[in-house]
Amino acid sequence: MREITIPIDDEVIRSLHVGDSVALTGIMVTARDAAHKWMVETFIKKTRPPQGEDEQVYEALKKLLNGGVIYHCGPVVSKDENGEYHFLAAGPTTSIREEPYQADVMKHFNVKGVIGKGGMGAKTLQGCRETPGVYFHAVGGAATFLAQTVEKVHGVYKLEFGVPEALWVIEVKEFPAVVTMDAHGQSQHAIVDAASRQVLEELLNKPY
C-alpha cells in the first residue's frame, strides 16, 4: 500500500494508476450533494449570489482544496463537553450523485483526489485527466473503522446544510482507498460496467 500525503502534487497524481492501493494522510474536506451544488452555483457558474459568510468559506476552501481531497461522506458526529467534534462513523457516500458537479469543482479548486464509493462517470473521468486528479474508492460498510483514521476534526462549514451535508475539515492518518479512476483516462468502473452489459446482453439473447 502506497502512502500518500495531502496536499498531493501533479507528479504524484500522474504516477497513480487504476488498481493502486493507497493510505492517505493529511487534511481532507467532506462534501456531498448540498455542498457541491452550493459551490457550483455560487462560485463557479455564479447563478446565485453569495450569502452570509459564503465569501469567507470560499476563501478557506480555496486553500484547503488546492492540491487537496474531497470525501463524499455523510458522517455521524458527536460533540464533547469541551465543544470539540469527533467522528463516530465516516463511511463513503455513493458518488454518482455528484457527477453533474465534480469535474467543475475539481478544476476550479485544483482538487487532486475525490473519495467515495461506486465510481463516477465520463465527465468526472475527463476532469481527472484535465485537472489532473484521481478517484479513490473507499470501502463501503466500514464506517466505524474509517472513522478511526480521523485524528482530528479541525472545523465545519455550512452546518446549516445539516450534519451529513456540511463541509467537515478533518485530519486523517493512513486512510485506506484504491484508485479506480486515474489521470490517464482509465476507469475500473467503466470496465466493470461494459463487462456487465455484455453478460446481460448474452443472457437476454440466450435461447431457451
Q: Is 108 a catalytic residue?
A: no
Average pLDDT, the chain: 93
Segment (H or E) for 58: helix 54-65
Query: Residue 135 CB: number of other CB atoms within 10 A?
Result: 29
pLDDT of res. 184: 97
Among candidates 113, 116, 108, which has minimal Cα distance to 12? 113
Q: Provide mean pLDDT across the span 157-170.
A: 97
102 pLDDT exceeds 80? yes
Q: Provide mean pLDDT across the span 73-81.
A: 96
Q: Write down the catalytic residue from 17, 36, 86, 184.
A: 36
Domains of the chain from N-terminus onward? 2-204 (3.20.130.10)
Q: pTM for the complete prediction?
A: 0.91
Taking 3-state DSSP, the helix, strand and coil percentages for the chain, each rounded to the nearest 5, stand at: 35, 30, 35
